[in-house]
Amino acid sequence: MSTEEKAHLAAFAFPFGSHPTALFHLVQRLAAACPQVHFSYFNIESSNKKVLSRLDTTHSNIKIYHVDDGVPEGHVSSGNPMEFIEFFIKATPANFSKRLEQVEKEMGTKATCLLSDAFLWFSGDMAQERGIPWLAYWAAGPSSISLHLYIHGIRAKLGNDDGQIQNLDQTLDFIPGMSAIRASDLPVEILQINGLFSHMLYNMSDTINRAYVVLNSFDGVDSVVECDLKSKLKRLLNIGPFPLPKALKCTEDQSGCLSWLSHQDAASVAYISFGTILTPPQPELVALAEALEEKQVPYLWSFADNSKRILIQGFFERTGRIGKLVEWAPQTEVLSHPSVGVFVTHCGWNSTLESILGGVPMICMPFFADQMINRRLMENVWRIGVGVQGDFSKSGMVEALDLVLWKDEGNKMRENIGRLKERAYMAVAEKGSSTEDFKSLTTKAKDI
Ligand code: U2F
């Protein structure tokens, strides 16, 4: 048996939102690059089902395992999305360590490397106890992880004893590369550590500098922040942007999005999606729908939440001639289609990258976590997007559509995003910075 054949990388997923899919996709890339290495991917069963339904799973050197989700038997959901996250957190780390030990016994091979979602900070302790490397995948961008590293300084400078921000407009210019970010952009978890989820991220802030941190990002997206991160972390590996177009199974276009787009004028369509976790509240949905209808903007709306779709059912019925409604779109391909002129987005990190790869400017409707930071970067730093004035009002939405689709500002944004797109493609080209960082990552995966 060669040394590489003894290598066994165990990957631990955070099973919510786009996190498990992104981690699985990373495991797939590694499995393709290191065919001799064994990969075991651990996630809760319900999330494994979703991940597998959306991705191609042809690599024979990956095995998928379920871990306990912590949900009590017979539990009836209260409808609060945090409850399943909290059940899961309570079940960690025992659910992962127990299952890993069973798998190691079955395989007869101990894990030689641990790759985890960065949220799962206890993986650092497990790796240390076993004397193996810890690779932590941070599913968002460089600025948001940087804020977590500065958590103590931020809390001391901005918060009062209750963790409340005193001056919402204050910029974070005391952190390298953050002068455009305001206190009001910070996710609640940075300022308050109430609750299991915030506590988990707080623990991560204190352990992450021990990891090889892997980002779905590329050199130059935020040079000052990256440089600072490199000085603070054991190693920063920018291996993105990924997934690149054509990486997903849904390129088959089952929903007919791409063929519908091909009948629309160039740069005329608003593509709308708010990611995998949240549907905006009714007033915001109504404002957006009314603005699209008033301006007769052709739209492609990815809307999975059946219970909320009913809220603007009349709009969908009246505007069926100019729009298309789907439950799930092949987003990467949609954003690379020449008919798409604007992306109305919640500013999730993957959506942001996919829009950059497609060269499509954005209308930003952020809600939580890193999304307000991404909005600020798009609007004030990269100048590739615009926020909605007046608390997501109809008039604010009309103004934003007007600006991006028909005004000169929109063209300027397209030029700016074109430059970022070029840099992104250079990073993933042969000998590009992300390609080189990915090679370093494979070396860690093969190492025993
Ligand atoms: C959380 O964000 P989300 O998972 O809600 O959003 P994104 O990071 O933007 O990822 C959504 C992914 O789902 C895909 C889309 C993205 O890759 O292409 N998708 C699709 O293919 N088709 C559809 O119809 C709709 C979506 C969190 F809320 C954010 O704040 C974080 O930035 C993010 C990453 O940590 O996770």
For 308-326, give one letter per residue: b (16+ CB within 10 A) or e.
ebebbeebbeebeeebbbb
Specify the ligand 1 atom closest to the Cα of 17: 4
- ∠ at Cα 192 (187, 198), nearest 5°? 75
The pLDDT assigned to 87 comes to 98
68 is catalytic: no
Residue of the CA atom closest to atom 28 of ligand 1: 348
- ∠ at Cα 409 (403, 414), nearest 5°? 105
Specify the ligand 1 atom closest to the Cα of 138: 35
Of the listed 117, 222, 370, 437, which one is catalytic? 117
Of the listed 19, 148, 337, 346, which one is catalytic? 19
CA of 22 to the centre of ligand 1 (A): 9
The pLDDT assigned to 81 comes to 78
> Considering Cα of 115, then 427, then 57, then 325, what sign does the dihedral take?
positive
Residue of the CA atom closest to atom 4 of ligand 1: 18
Centroid of chain to Cα 48? 17
Q: Are the beta carbons of 135 and 34 closer than 8 angstroms?
A: no
263 is catalytic: no
Question: Which residues does residue 66 pair with via DSSP β-bridges, in sequence order?
Answer: 43
- Does residue 435 sit in helix, strand or coil? helix
Residue of the CA atom closest to atom 30 of ligand 1: 348
CB within 8 Å of 221: residues ≥ 6 apart: 141, 142, 238, 420, 423, 424
| Strand 8-12 with 269-273, pairing | unpaired
Q: What ipTM is given for this predicted complex?
A: 0.99
Residue 367: C-alpha distances to residues 184, 279, 280, 392, 394 (Å): 12, 10, 8, 11, 17
Using a 10 angstrom Cβ sphere, with 0-12 exposed, 13-18 middle and 19 or more buried, the burial of residue 225 is buried
- Does residue 249 sit in helix, strand or coil? helix
Tokens for 121? 């900070």
The pLDDT assigned to 168 comes to 85
CA of 415 to the centre of ligand 1 (A): 25
Distance in angstroms (rounded) separating the CA atoms of residues 344 and 262: 20
For the packed helices 408-428 and 433-446, what is the interaxial angle rounded to 10 degrees? 40
Tokens for 49? 């089902």
Nearest Cα to Cα of residue 291 among 373, 185, 384, 365 = 365
User: From first to last of its 448 residues, what are the pLDDT tens digits of the chain?
Assistant: 566 668 999 999 999 999 999 999 999 999 999 999 999 999 999 999 998 887 666 789 999 999 999 999 999 998 887 999 999 999 999 999 999 999 999 999 999 999 999 999 999 999 999 999 999 999 999 999 999 999 999 988 887 656 677 788 899 999 999 999 999 999 988 888 789 999 999 999 999 999 999 999 999 999 999 999 999 999 999 999 985 444 445 456 788 999 999 999 999 999 999 999 989 999 999 999 999 999 999 999 999 988 888 989 999 999 999 999 999 999 999 999 999 999 999 999 999 999 999 999 999 999 999 999 999 999 999 999 999 988 899 999 999 999 999 999 999 999 999 999 999 999 999 999 999 999 999 999 998 7
The pLDDT assigned to 158 comes to 85
> Considering Cα of 416, then 242, then 441, then 377, what sign does the dihedral take?
positive
Distance in angstroms (rounded) separating the CA atoms of residues 437 and 240: 9
Ligand 1: residues within 6 Å at CB? 17-18, 139-140, 273, 275-277, 302, 328-329, 331-332, 348-351, 354, 369-371
DSSP state of 71: P
Tokens for 343? 């992306």
Distance in angstroms (rounded) separating the CA atoms of residues 216 and 138: 8
Tokens for 263? 């009948």
Nearest Cα to Cα of residue 143 among 385, 440, 383, 372 = 372
Nearest Cα to Cα of residue 366 among 351, 384, 387 = 387
- What order do you get walking across the sheet with 269-273 strand by strand? 323-326, 299-302, 269-273, 340-345, 362-364, 385-387
Pocket test for ligand 1, best of 16, 18, 214 (most atoms within 8 A of CB): 18
Tokens for 355? 């829009």
Element (H, E) at 117: strand 113-117
Specify the ligand 1 atom closest to the Cα of 248: 21
Q: Are the beta carbons of 417 and 361 closer than 8 angstroms?
A: yes
Q: Are the beta carbons of 172 and 154 closer than 8 angstroms?
A: yes
User: What is the amino acid identity at position 189?
Assistant: E
Centroid of chain to Cα 40? 22
Distance in angstroms (rounded) separating the CA atoms of residues 33 and 438: 10
Q: Are the beta carbons of 185 and 372 closer than 8 angstroms?
A: yes
Q: Are the beta carbons of 327 and 348 closer than 8 angstroms?
A: no
Residue of the CA atom closest to atom 18 of ligand 1: 331
